[in-house]
Amino acid sequence: MIDILFVEDEEKMAQIVSDVLRAKDFNVRYCKDGQQAWEAFFLAKPDIVVTDVMMPRMDGFTLASKIREVDSAIPLIFLTARTAEEDVLKGFDMGGNDYLRKPFSIDELIARINSLNRMRNKYNPNERIIIGKYELNPIKHMLRCGDECITLSFRESELLKRLYERRNTVIHRKEILFEFWHGNQFSGRSLDVFVSRLRKHLKDDPNINIINVRNVGYKMVIT
């Protein structure tokens, strides 16, 4: 059974969502704001955090950032009415794994909770991936090169891992968007931003290239 820390300041909506999740055999710990959730996080020891963004006392972005300081692996989903691309990218930078725009389908929320939980459970905690001069820890989302260590967002870490696993092969944009952004159209620009960030992270090894195959997708090449 999956334990969920659910954070939402709209109490009527929170009650409905909590009731449905419990009916689907999830354990739900409900908090009405980020501060309450931060205090409950250590007691609840949840498997996943689902949080609103705009809340009193402590917003969802701040909550996510604080959680990431003590737990780099727990899945975190944002629920937000803020649809501007910069807001979504900020959420990923703060450590979010996924997002849902309000209003949302509870069935879709459940599907994403289950997907992130499966993804977390399949990881080998001792896994290290050598990418040229770099070492990627996909659990802690850490990229190391010599003495330098870079903290990646969950999505950066997952995208880098996938590009490396399929190196020398073009991965179609639609495939990446479907897997990492659930096919949302606006995320095409977000994908380009994430690839640009990965290139900067990997700049110290000139033998690693992430190639944009125009109108098709991306390919990692290591020479």
Contact yes or no for 141/151 (Cβ under 8 A): yes
pTM of the model: 0.70
Give just the sign of the alpha carbon dihedral 107, 112, 68, 123: positive
Residue 171 is predicted with a pLDDT of 96
Residue 168 is predicted with a pLDDT of 95
Residue 17 is predicted with a pLDDT of 96
My answer on whether 54 and 14 are in the same domain is: yes
Helix (H) and strand (E) counts in the chain: 8, 12
My answer on whether 115 and 137 are in the same domain is: no
My answer on whether 186 and 89 are in the same domain is: no
The structural domain count of the chain equals 2
Q: List the CATH number of the domain containing 183.
A: 1.10.10.10
Residue 80 is predicted with a pLDDT of 84
My answer on whether 149 and 202 are in the same domain is: yes
Residue 188 is predicted with a pLDDT of 63
Residue 153 is predicted with a pLDDT of 80
Residue 182 is predicted with a pLDDT of 64
Residue 35 is predicted with a pLDDT of 96
Residue 122 is predicted with a pLDDT of 64
My answer on whether 199 and 146 are in the same domain is: yes
Contact yes or no for 159/176 (Cβ under 8 A): yes
Residue 77 is predicted with a pLDDT of 94
Which residue among 84, 105, 121 closes a domain? 121
My answer on whether 140 and 112 are in the same domain is: no
Pull the structure tokens for residue 7: 């954070």
Domain of 211, in residue numbers: 129-222
Pull the structure tokens for residue 131: 């990418």
Residue found by looking up tokens 């069935």 in the block: 107
pLDDT tens sequence for the chain (223 residues) = 899 999 999 999 999 999 999 999 999 999 999 999 999 999 989 999 999 999 988 999 999 999 988 887 889 999 988 766 677 777 777 778 888 888 889 999 999 999 888 877 666 667 789 999 999 998 888 899 999 999 888 788 889 999 999 999 999 998 888 877 765 555 667 788 889 999 999 999 999 999 999 889 999 999 9
Q: List the CATH number of the domain containing 113.
A: 3.40.50.2300
Residue 183 is predicted with a pLDDT of 55
My answer on whether 8 and 107 are in the same domain is: yes
Question: SS3 for 185?
Answer: coil
Q: Which residues of 106-141 are buried (b: 16+ CB within 10 A; e: fewer)?
A: eeebeebbeebeeeeeeeeeeeeeebbebebbbbeb
Q: How far is Cα 124 from Cα 117, in angstroms, rounded to an integer?
A: 14
Which residue among 96, 121, 146 closes a domain? 121
Which residue among 95, 121, 147 closes a domain? 121
My answer on whether 94 and 193 are in the same domain is: no
Pull the structure tokens for residue 180: 């990492």
My answer on whether 87 and 166 are in the same domain is: no
Residue 212 is predicted with a pLDDT of 95
Residue 116 is predicted with a pLDDT of 86
My answer on whether 144 and 218 are in the same domain is: yes
My answer on whether 184 and 209 are in the same domain is: yes
My answer on whether 67 and 27 are in the same domain is: yes
Q: How far is Cα 23 from Cα 129, in angstroms, rounded to an integer?
A: 40
